[in-house]
Amino acid sequence: MGLSLRKKVLFLAIACMPLSVVFADGEGVVSENVVPFAYGDMDNWVVREIHESGIIGGNTKLLYELGPSDTIVGNTAFHNMGGSPWATSNVMAKVLGVVKTNTSVFPEKRGDGMCARLETRFESVKVRFLALDIEVIAAGSIFLGMVHEPISGTRNPQAMLQSGVPFTKKPKALRFDYKVKAAPEKNRIRSTGFSRKTMVPGQDSLAVILLLQKRWEDKEGNVYSKRVGTMVQRYTESTSDWVNKATYPILYGNITSRPEYKSYMRIQVEERYTLNSKGKSVPIQEVGWADPDETPTHMVLQFTSSHGGAYIGSPGNTFWIDNVELIY
């Protein structure tokens, strides 16, 4: 699929027909347009059956992706299906010819449909005759974009992800249902598999990150962006049950003087990647705040069970997500 066609498919997957809702706010009648994300109801999943290499046990593992209900058997790289704009942290890696998987996002029954369950967990690789036992921390994540499979190594994992999709609208808020189980530990664990486990100061958070960016590319293929809109929400405490229709406003322009601003909403809080016009994975260099009346070119949206980046987190953190929508 060409780049322009892929962009159109991903854009149309988000910009679906809105549902108009009218409600009373105590002072009058307010109208809002509710626009569900394609596959944002979490009811449809692609199941992948991957056979891991014999040297690490030769087990058959199941990976789950948001998309049209289907089953794929075989060690083939995955590409977004059926116009789904979503990717997950469930990946197939092939390093030096060895096939290994990671599964940290799962479909789960909820009422008459399904939801997504994101877990932070240890993923291990054992080679008995080499006395090799490697454990890494893997957080569960679903995000708008795609994964460049097969993963070929643990170095710079963000470069294996295409973060964000084309998007030119300016919604008022993000809405979704969620449930949280937060690990009680006050510090996090860093485990890359190739060095000893270490403690990282600070409690882990489950997070939702929505960024509206205005991106451009220079003649060398470098990609830059300014931040048009921001919504970042973190959770550190468990919920007793589902929180339905949680609605978080999107803030536009430079928000550093607003009372809602937190340090983790700052510019370039972490490095994200995209494919440039030459098909190369390059970092998105976020260089500042856009004026609030600017039109975005891309949306970044991620739900994650740990906030600290690759190989850092608190095993046991669990984040359930359902019914993801934009409000206009």
Confidence of residue 87 (pLDDT cuts 50, 70, 90): very high
Q: Name the token pair of 252.
A: 């536009």
What is the band of 74 on the pLDDT scale with cuts at 50, 70, 90?
A: very high
CA dihedral over 308, 108, 43, 111, signed as positive or negative: negative
pLDDT per residue as tens digits for the range 49-70:
999 998 888 999 999 999 999 9
Q: What per-residue confidence (pLDDT) applies to 151?
A: 83
Residue 133: per-residue pLDDT: 54
- Using the predicted structure, report yes or no on whether residue 134 has a pLDDT greater than 90: no
Nearest to 107 by CA among 62, 50, 43, 49: 43
And the tokens for 51? 């056979």
pLDDT tens digits along 271-317: 999 999 999 999 999 999 999 999 999 999 999 999 887 778 889 99
Please report the pLDDT score of residue 91 as a whole number: 92
Q: Quote the CA–CA distance of 100 and 79 in Å, as a whole number.
A: 18
d(CA 132, CA 305): 28
- Other C-beta atoms closer than 10 Å to the C-beta of 285 total 14
Question: pLDDT at residue 192 above 60?
Answer: yes
Side-chain-side CA neighbours of 213 within 13 Å: the count stands at 28
Check pLDDT > 70 for residue 105: yes
Q: How far apart are CA 158 and CA 89, in angstroms?
A: 11
* SS3 of residue 157 by DSSP: helix
Measuring CA to CA, which residue among 95, 89, 88 is closest to residue 53?
Answer: 95
Q: Which helix (H) or strand (E) holds 8?
A: helix 3-14
Q: Report CA-CA distances (Å) from 18 to 15, 42, 77, 197.
A: 8, 18, 33, 48
Q: What's the pLDDT band for 95 if we cut at 50, 70, 90?
A: confident
In single-letter form, the type of residue at position 169 comes to K
pLDDT digits (tens, 9 = 90+) for 24-33: 445 555 689 9
pLDDT at residue 51 in the model = 95
> Hey, is 7 helix, strand or coil?
helix
- What pLDDT, on a 0 to 100 scale, did the predictor assign at position 57? 85
Q: Please name which of 112, 106, 124 lies closest in space to residue 56, comparing C-alpha atoms.
A: 124
> Is residue 249 predicted with pLDDT exceeding 90?
yes
Most confidently modeled range among 90-99, 154-163, 243-252: 243-252
> In 170-280, where do the E strands start and end?
173-181, 187-190, 198-201, 206-217, 223-235, 243-249, 251-252, 273-275
DSSP 241: S
The yes-or-no verdict on residue 130 having pLDDT over 50 is no
Q: Is the pTM of this model over 0.85?
A: yes
Neighbours of 77 (CB within 10 A): 12
Spell out the domain ranges in the chain: 3-327
pLDDT surpasses 50 at 129: no
Q: Which of 20-24, 42-46, 262-266 comes out lowest in average pLDDT?
A: 20-24
Q: What is the mean pLDDT of the chain?
A: 88
